Every structure is written in structure tokens, then in C-alpha cells.
């Protein structure tokens, strides 16, 4: 197992040890257990190491039952161990989707967690199998022109973040209506926004070249899926669309813009592109 772990890490994979489960109950105190985890699987020292000299990249907490185990103290202890280490470690959690999670809510509110893997299954009202959320990973649009423009705007987003060093940004997808503008001696048209969706982007600071590539690929994928989801939802629900008041072939153009929300205003990038409404 240790050889396999190191081989995966060489290929840029992050290896986490998941603790907990649907029925798990821990009887150890947080101090003792955190020390055991550090010694057995990370940079601590122990005569017995399940993965030999392989060192995992972090811990994932998946507690789905109420317990006397102090998860907050355990998380704080692990974060302190991570700071003393010579490599990057991750502390993650897997809460169920109803918020706040009954068993991990306090942990997420009071301790530092690098990532949260939300469980959209076996979770009551927000269960994937009941409410269609499994369709999210498959989100796309059957329109090459829209696909190309989304790719271009996501590339612009990644470039702007790399150049400005902003920690936050946003993608705006808005729909406009073309209406005539009346004046005394001339006629013109104006575009009035009647619906806007804003996708807020929060960046994670990477600490290694491998992590940079992983986070960038993940960010690009999430941004594209979010835009496609908005377009799909707009195409499903059309009852609120304004009456057509223009003779143009495209009375409802849409626009995609990218704009950082922090950093210097002089470095702000915001380019809107008029395009055909998705079909």
C-alpha cells in the first residue's frame, strides 16, 4: 500500500485518510488520537506504520453520528501538527448537505478546514437521488458557439487572477432586452438588463507547483459547469421572459463578463460579449 501511495503522489494525487463513517464511534480522547494519527501516518515516529515510510497528505473527517469525541480539539491538534511538518497537509471534512451539519457543523465553524466534501446522498431533503442534483456534474450545452465563449471567458478569468494576484473574482452572466430609445430628432436602441446571475470566485493559495496545476484545473472545471448550469436553467424556465419589443432576430442577447472584486481598480478586467441567446 505504501508503494502505491507514493506512486500516486508522484503523479500529483492527494492522499487523504478518511476517519469516521455512517456508524463510527471513537472512544479515544482527541489528544491521544491526534498523536497516534501523526505518528502512524505522517511525520511522527512509531514502530508500527501501516503504510511503511509513505506519508499521507492529510485527514478527512466523516462523522455521521453523535459522539463524545471532541472533533474540534482533534482538528486543532492536527492543524498544529501540520504546521510543524515539512510538507503541505490538508484537513478536510465531509458534512451532509443540510446546513449546518448536525455532527460537523461546530467543527466547520470553529476550526480551520481546507476543503469540505459535501455529501449529497442519504441526506433527507437535499438527497441527490430525489432532487436531481446528480445532473450537476454532467452540465453542458449543445451549442458550440456558447461552449467556445464560455471557454474564452474562463481562460480570461484564470489569466486575470494570475496577473493581478486577486483572491476573489466573479463571473457575471446577464440577459438583456433591446428596446427603442426615443429622442426628439433621432431614433436609437438600448439594452436593458432583465436578469443577472453572478458567480463569485474565491481562490485558494497554493504552495507547490503540483498543487497549482490541480487547483487551476479544478477551478476552470467548476467555473464552466456553473455557467452551463445557469444557461440550462434559463432555457428551462421561460415564463418570465419579457415580451418581444424588437424586430431584430435576436431580441434577448446575453453577455458574459469577468471582473475581479479585490485588488487595484486599475487592474480590473471586465469585458462583456454580446452573443446569441442559447437555444
Please check whether residue 76 is in contact with residue 36, taking contact to mean a CB–CB distance below 8 angstroms. no
- For the beta sheet containing 187-202, the strands, ordered from the edge strand earlier in sequence to the opposite edge, are 187-202, 168-182, 254-260, 273-275
The residue count for the chain: 279
Given the residues 10, 43, 47, 64, the one annotated as active site: 64
CB neighbourhood size of 259 (10 A)? 17
d(CA 196, CA 182): 25
Please check whether residue 37 is in contact with residue 17, taking contact to mean a CB–CB distance below 8 angstroms. yes
Interacting residues of 272 by C-beta distance below 8 A, sequence separation 6+? 255, 256, 257
d(CA 123, CA 186): 60
Annotated active-site residue 220? The verdict is: no
Dihedral sign (CA 52, 58, 59, 60): negative
- DSSP codes, 165-199: --SEEEEEEEEEEEEEEE-SS-EEEEEEEEEEEEE
E strands, the chain, are 16-21, 58-63, 90-93, 115-116, 168-182, 187-202, 254-260, 273-275
CA atoms within 13 A on the CB side of 37: 27
Please check whether residue 258 is in contact with residue 160, taking contact to mean a CB–CB distance below 8 angstroms. yes
Q: Which residue numbers are catalytic? A: 64
Amino acid at each position: 500500500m505504501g508503494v502505491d501511495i507514493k506512486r500516486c503522489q508522484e503523479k500529483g494525487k492527494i492522499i487523504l485518510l478518511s476517519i469516521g463513517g455512517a456508524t463510527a464511534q471513537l472512544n479515544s480522547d482527541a489528544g491521544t488520537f491526534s498523536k497516534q494519527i501523526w505518528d502512524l501516518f505522517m511525520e511522527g515516529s512509531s514502530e508500527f506504520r501501516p503504510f511503511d515510510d509513505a506519508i499521507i497528505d492529510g485527514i478527512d473527517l466523516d462523522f455521521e453520528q453523535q459522539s463524545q469525541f471532541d472533533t474540534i480539539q482533534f482538528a486543532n491538534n492536527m492543524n498544529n501538527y501540520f504546521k510543524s511538518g515539512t510538507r503541505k497537509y490538508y484537513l478536510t471534512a465531509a458534512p451532509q448537505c443540510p446546513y449546518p451539519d448536525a455532527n460537523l457543523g461546530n467543527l466547520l465553524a470553529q476550526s480551520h478546514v481546507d476543503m469540505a466534501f459535501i455529501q449529497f446522498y442519504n441526506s433527507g431533503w437535499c438527497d441527490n437521488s430525489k432532487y436531481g442534483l446528480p445532473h450537476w456534474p454532467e452540465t453542458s450545452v449543445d451549442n458550440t458557439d456558447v461552449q467556445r465563449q464560455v471557454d474564452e471567458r474562463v481562460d480570461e478569468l484564470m489569466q486575470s487572477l494570475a496577473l493581478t494576484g486577486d483572491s476573489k473574482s466573479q463571473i457575471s452572466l446577464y440577459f438583456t432586452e433591446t428596446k427603442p430609445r426615443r429622442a426628439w430628432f433621432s431614433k436609437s436602441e438600448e439594452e436593458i438588463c432583465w436578469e443577472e446571475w453572478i458567480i463569485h470566485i474565491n481562490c485558494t493559495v497554493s504552495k507547490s507547483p503540483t498543487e497549482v496545476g490541480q487547483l487551476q484545473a479544478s477551478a476552470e472545471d467548476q467555473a464552466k459547469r456553473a455557467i452551463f448550469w445557469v444557461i440550462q436553467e434559463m432555457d428551462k424556465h421561460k415564463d418570465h421572459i419579457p415580451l418581444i419589443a424588437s424586430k431584430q432576430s435576436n431580441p434577448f442577447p446575453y453577455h458574459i463578463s469577468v471582473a475581479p472584486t479585490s485588488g487595484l481598480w486599475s487592474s480590473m478586467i471586465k469585458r462583456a460579449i454580446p452573443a446569441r441567446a442559447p437555444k
